[in-house]
């Protein structure tokens, strides 16, 4: 009996040792990554002290804080960069995104408006303002900016649709959903966008959201609605089996 127990014990010890080694490796990798990012931020803080009037130095420090997940510090650094040079669109863009990360949509909108003052011919920025207004429940303002986005860039919907298809093919389903939803914001009656959005929801198991798109699609395109209905039934059958 002892001859059968000892090999089992040795086998369990090997497994436990392997698991321990993996855990230690993951911890070391994470620690090194955090240390690198922290060191980068520390170095850039010294650069800012040496070059306090450099917008680039403050901008790079903001990026370092963003990498660390410290959005509030990143915002402070970006704002300092803007106070030195307010005419760099990318600084306003990064600041707007960080405000959105913190769900400070009013502040984000202010920055997006600064962006379109500097880059008035890019429709995507108007779209982002509209989406921020949506978060605030200001539907008319959102609609106005969606219309402006289409006016500035008539091909914006087509590009967003293509990006959604590419992400779907790559298995980046959340990104695909985001692109299709943006197409729908610009073109609420785009039946194909509703169909594709429902298809992605089915792919990730969100049947209720797919059914919501089906109900909308019935009012837009009966043929596509029927195709979607069959697709939903097919998924139900697969679940049963």
Contact 152, 126 (CB under 8 A): yes
For domain 2-106, give the fold: 1.25.40
- pLDDT tens digits along 183-240: 999 999 999 999 999 999 999 999 999 999 999 999 999 999 999 999 988 887 666 5
Diameter of the chain by CA atoms?
82
What Cα–Cα distance (Å) separates residue 189 from each residue in 122, 135, 220? 23, 21, 7
- Identical fold, 2-106 and 156-240: yes
Whole-number pLDDT of residue 39: 77
Q: At a CB cut-off of 8 Å and minimum separation 6, what does 91 contact?
A: 55, 59, 62, 78, 81, 82, 85
Whole-number pLDDT of residue 28: 36
DSSP state of 206: -
Return the domain boundaries, the chain: 2-106, 156-240
Contact 115, 93 (CB under 8 A): yes
Q: Does domain 156-240 have CATH number 1.10.287.610?
A: no
Give the C-alpha separation, 124 to 12, whole Å: 57
Give the C-alpha separation, 22 to 29, whole Å: 11
Reading the block at residue 211, the tokens are 């059914």
End-to-end CA distance of the chain: 45
Whole-number pLDDT of residue 122: 95
pLDDT in tens, the chain (241 residues): 444 445 444 444 443 434 434 433 333 334 333 455 677 777 777 877 888 889 998 999 899 899 888 999 999 999 999 999 999 999 999 999 999 999 999 999 999 999 999 999 999 999 999 999 999 999 999 999 999 999 999 999 999 999 999 999 999 999 999 999 999 999 999 999 999 999 999 999 999 999 999 999 999 999 999 999 999 888 876 665 5
């Amino acid at each position: 009996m002892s001859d059968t127990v000892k090999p089992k014990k040795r086998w369990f010890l090997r497994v436990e040792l392997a698991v321990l080694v993996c855990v230690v490796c993951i911890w070391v990798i994470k620690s090194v990554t955090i240390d690198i990012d922290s060191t980068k931020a520390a170095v850039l803080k010294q650069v800012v002290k040496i070059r306090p009037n450099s917008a680039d130095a403050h901008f790079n420090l903001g990026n370092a804080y963003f990498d660390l997940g410290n959005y509030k510090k990143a915002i402070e650094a970006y704002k300092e960069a803007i106070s030195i040079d307010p005419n760099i669109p990318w600084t306003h863009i990064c600041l707007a995104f960080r405000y959105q990360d913190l769900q400070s949509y009013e502040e984000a909108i202010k920055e997006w408006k600064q962006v379109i003052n500097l880059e008035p011919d890019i429709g995507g920025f108007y779209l982002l303002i509209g989406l921020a207004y949506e978060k605030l429940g200001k539907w008319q303002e959102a609609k106005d900016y969606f219309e402006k986005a289409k006016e500035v860039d008539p091909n914006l919907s087509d590009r967003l649709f293509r990006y959604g298809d590419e992400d779907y093919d790559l298995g980046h389903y959340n990104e695909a959903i985001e692109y299709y939803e943006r197409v729908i914001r610009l073109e609420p009656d785009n039946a194909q966008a509703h169909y594709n959005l429902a298809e992605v929801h089915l792919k990730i198991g969100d049947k209720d959201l797919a059914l919501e798109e089906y109900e909308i699609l019935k009012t837009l395109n009966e043929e596509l609605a029927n195709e979607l209905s069959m697709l939903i039934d097919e998924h139900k059958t697969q679940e049963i089996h």
